[in-house]
Amino acid sequence: MNHLQAFLNAMQAGAALAHRPENLRWLAGYTGEGCLFIVRDAQVILTDSRYTEQARREAPDWELAQVSAERDYSALIRDLAAKHGVRQIHVETDYLTYDAYRRLDAALEGVELVPMDGIPEKLREIKDEDELESIRRAAAIASDAFMNILPSIHAGMTEKQVQRVLEFEMLELGSEGVAFDTIAAAGLNGALPHATPSDHVIEVGELLTLDFGATVNGYRSDMTRTVGFGRITGELKQIYETVRMAQQLGLDALAVGKKCGDVDRVARDYIDARYPGAFGHSLGHGVGLFIHEQPRLAKGSEQILRPGNVVTVEPGIYIPGVGGCRIEDTVIMTADGVINTIAAPKHLIEL
């Protein structure tokens, strides 16, 4: 079943207006600007002249409505709603700005705006074969890029320099761009789970955490590796091995039918018993067109893992004044088990 069909079924008889770029791509295969008007017997891309040819190429089955100086988005939507007898229309209230919502509401007199309630996002939790293939390719690019740059990164470089080398390599290998802002955190900066790469010069004896991803067809991958420079002391080594074991326990706990919260607990308990309070964030999250999607491997989550889910497993230990470490893979849930899309090794690499 294609995405549009699944969406129409989930919407039942409802009409919808989609604005979120990721949903335009997911529903129509269209990557330009504009919005989608969707009822069961008509699907229309609304855009301006810069994107009409692109829309024809990317979404040949969709009708096109072009805005102009005389007829803006509000006018086009009003006409479409009237033509199709729409009395109620689902909109992405979690995406539209307050102003955009008010404009729509004013333009659509007599039509009730109702929240779409995350229907596309819910459906997107289960990836189809094409989506999984894009994610696997994005994962392979990121993993290969990491392995490729290891010989050229060394103490004396700054976090920003390592970031540039890594991102360049992912682009060389075919990534459309970075999946999210790369994290490169060395030494004491490693205690910040979401550190921004800085001009900090990496020193011998420090750990460097690299959290990064590639993008293929709009789909993302997510991985983290922590490497050491020179000889790593006992304390940091201990932290590293604890994270590595917790990550393996998390991976081993994954299974279709299991509660997300139960997977989180396995890795969390292992770290909490050794480094209480040092692992603050969730164990993992869904990945797809967004870098953070459902399902989340989070404390107390009752959500059940299903075939086609793609999730990260990324425990970490963060200790102010000491440093930190995180190890992360992106994995695919299948009925027959778990496929780890990240091939890069996880033993402590000392450069």
- Pick 189 or 312: Cβ nearer Mn ion: 312
Residue 158: CB atoms within 10 A of its CB come to: 16
**Per the omega criterion (within 30 degrees of 0), is the bond before 295 cis?**
yes
- Pick 84 or 346: Cβ nearer Mn ion: 346
- Pick 301 or 312: Cβ nearer Mn ion: 312
- Pick 222 or 293: Cβ nearer Mn ion: 222
- Pick 134 or 312: Cβ nearer Mn ion: 312
Mark the segment that binds Mn ion (CB under 5 A) among 31-39, 82-90, 168-176, 216-224: 216-224
- Pick 137 or 326: Cβ nearer Mn ion: 326
State in angstroms the smallest separation of the CB of 249 from Mn ion: 18
Which residue number has the CB closest to Mn ion?
A: 222
Mark the segment that binds Mn ion (CB under 5 A) among 12-20, 162-170, 219-227, 235-243: 219-227
- Pick 32 or 286: Cβ nearer Mn ion: 286
State in angstroms the smallest separation of the CB of 36 from Mn ion: 29
- 186: DSSP letter: E
- Pick 169 or 222: Cβ nearer Mn ion: 222
Tokens of 218: 């709009």
CA 44 to chain centre: 27
- Pick 90 or 127: Cβ nearer Mn ion: 127
Sign (positive or negative) of CA dihedral 23, 27, 32, 38? negative
Q: Per CB under 5 A, does 47 bind Mn ion?
A: no
Nearest to 5 by CA among 128, 135, 136, 132: 128
State in angstroms the smallest separation of the CB of 312 from Mn ion: 4
CA distance 274 to 277: 9
**Max CA pair span of the chain:** 72
How many residues touch Mn ion under the rule CB under 5 A: the total is: 2
State in angstroms the smallest separation of the CB of 163 from Mn ion: 16
CA distance 172 to 142: 11
Mark the segment that binds Mn ion (CB under 5 A) among 138-146, 191-199, 308-316, 332-340: 308-316
Go through 194-206 and write b for each residue having 16 or more CB atoms within 10 A of its CB, e for each that does not. Answer: ebebeebebeeeb
Q: Per CB under 5 A, does 293 bind Mn ion?
A: no
Mark the segment that binds Mn ion (CB under 5 A) among 202-210, 221-229, 253-261, 338-346: 221-229
Q: Per CB under 5 A, does 282 bind Mn ion?
A: no
State in angstroms the smallest separation of the CB of 285 from Mn ion: 6
State in angstroms the smallest separation of the CB of 21 from Mn ion: 21
- For residue 89, what are the contacts with CB-CB under 8 A and spacing of at least 6? 14, 15, 16, 17, 81, 108, 111, 112, 113, 114
- For residue 78, what are the contacts with CB-CB under 8 A and spacing of at least 6? 107, 108
Mark the segment that binds Mn ion (CB under 5 A) among 59-67, 122-130, 171-179, 305-313: 305-313
State in angstroms the smallest separation of the CB of 314 from Mn ion: 5
Judge whether 155 and 203 are in contact, CB under 8 Å: yes
Q: Per CB under 5 A, does 182 bind Mn ion?
A: no
Of 169, 206, 222, 293, the one binding Mn ion (CB under 5 A) is: 222
Of 175, 294, 312, 341, the one binding Mn ion (CB under 5 A) is: 312
- Pick 208 or 287: Cβ nearer Mn ion: 287
Judge whether 223 and 252 are in contact, CB under 8 Å: no
Judge whether 109 and 131 are in contact, CB under 8 Å: no
CA distance 9 to 119: 11
Nearest to 302 by CA among 253, 254, 260, 251: 260
Binding site for Mn ion (CB under 5 A): 222, 312
